[in-house]
Amino acid sequence: MGLKEQALEYHETGRPGKVKVVPTKPCKTADELSLAYSPGVAEPCKEIQRDPELAYSYTARGNLVAVVTNGSAVLGLGNIGALAGKPVMEGKGVLFKRFADIDVFDIEIDSQDPEEIIRTVELIAPTFGGINLEDIRAPECFEIETRLKESLDIPVFHDDQHGTAIISAAALLNAVMLTGRHMENIKVVCSGAGAAAISTCRLYKDLGVQPDNILMVDSRGVIYKGREEGMNVYKEEFAVESDCRSLEEAMVGADVFVGLSSAGLVKQEMIDTMAPQPIVFAMANPDPEISPPDVLAVRHDAICATGRSDFPNQVNNVLGFPFIFRGALDVRATQINEPMKRAAVRALAELARRGDMVPDAVKHAYPGEAFDFGASYIIPKPFDPRVLLFVAPAVATAAMESGVARKNIDLAEYAKRLHQTVGDISAL
């Protein structure tokens, strides 16, 4: 049976789809029914009307995230529309639950109009503790996220932008450490100028990369000061003084290549012109800009990462969003801000440096792989249960320290709760 047949059978067998809603309170007797619904349900309604914060105590809001899409930029499929994107959003819900025990309603909005999307999310926001925007095309996604962050008092996070940025930034911190470099001195070439590329380069700057040391390249070539063709306000942020006009020219002497574009764009000859110990993150999916074996064939000293699970150092967004939302929800954060993102980056980077402590279950899930911190292990594996224990507290702490948490928590008690969550998730 081929992949297509396996995938269709997986989604169709038994109850169609991948998610369902289950009650968390008993409702088997007349008394329980009267508490779950009328007349008892009126009491929490009146309390929430008196104090809206009590919705976190009396409803599922505090552990409920909306995964919102209009299907305009579904990974590998393009603008397939809201309904066709629903299997992906259900899948996202499975990942939230599987990795961080967060409940999800997937919301597919049948509109390509940013104003309609913004207003729809604003209207349904009281249902949720957080909003995860997904598979919405650039540049509309920038405006949608920015506007919603301004109008809502719950976390809004566009994973297509920030997920790849956070995971690859953790990998970059470790690669820079392993090669004896410093963030403020590295020269970065980024192939791609979409949502993920813009957000990734912004985060790299936030972590110390100098703006003039980033060359962003789109389908028309290097983005340089004075270029007019194919520009927008988001690309303009990365326009620099440069004589380079092509990806091939930009790669000469570069320390880091970041690929968020298309398969096969990078040739071995380009890799060969990079600086010693090049860092090559070719993250186009499903096929990278250049494969790690092709990189290592010409530069054995390279450190490589891709978006694929069949090569070392997979930059997988599942290492980020479940745990970032877990930490944000648990302190009732009003937003996911830059300190929280940086905290997630550093927590992931630190965890990878503890490769000698990888649980046996992770080793069994990836037979034959080495987990010693080094060129082949610069980011943790998605099935490492310690990711929850590292990232969620780091994000929660950053939220409290940066003033966006509405609830302060005891971190020691929180650690105990998260260990219990790991056990509960393992039983799913």
Q: Which residues are catalytically annotated?
A: 37, 92
DSSP string across 133-195 = E-S--TTHHHHHHHHHHHH-SS-EEEHHHHHHHHHHHHHHHHHHHHTT--GGG--EEEE--SH
**Contacts for 46 with CB less than 8 Å, ≥ 6 apart:** none
Q: Mapping DSSP to helix (H, G, I), strand (E, B) and coil, where does residue 63 land?
A: helix
Asked if 201 and 189 count as a contact pair (C-beta separation under 8 A), the reply is no
Q: Kindly state the DSSP code that residue 217 receives in the 8-state scheme.
A: E
- Copy the structure tokens of residue 375: 């060129």
The end-to-end CA distance of the chain, in Å, is: 27
Strand order in the sheet with 221-222: 221-222, 214-218, 188-191, 256-259, 279-282, 303-306
| 3 state SS of 74 | strand
Rounded to the nearest 5 percent, the helix, strand and coil shares of the chain are 50, 10, 40
Q: If we measure between CA atoms, which residue out of 318, 336, 352 comes closest to residue 395?
A: 336
- Cβ-in-10-Å burial (0-12, 13-18, 19+) of 90 comes to middle
Please provide residue 131's backbone torsions phi and psi, each rounded to the nearest 5 degrees: -125, 120
- Residue 306: DSSP 8-state: E
Nearest by Cα to 101 from 369, 385, 413: 385
Supply the DSSP symbol for 377. Answer: B
Contact 128, 65 (CB under 8 A): yes
- What is the distance, to the nearest Å, from the Cα of residue 175 to the centroid of all Cα atoms in its chain? 20
**C-beta separation of 175 from 255 below 8 A:** no
Q: How far lies 72's CA from each of 61, 81, 109, 286, in Å?
A: 27, 6, 10, 18
C-alpha neighbours within 13 Å on the C-beta side of residue 200: 33
- 314 has which bridge partners? 306
Query: Tokens representing 277?
Result: 């110990």
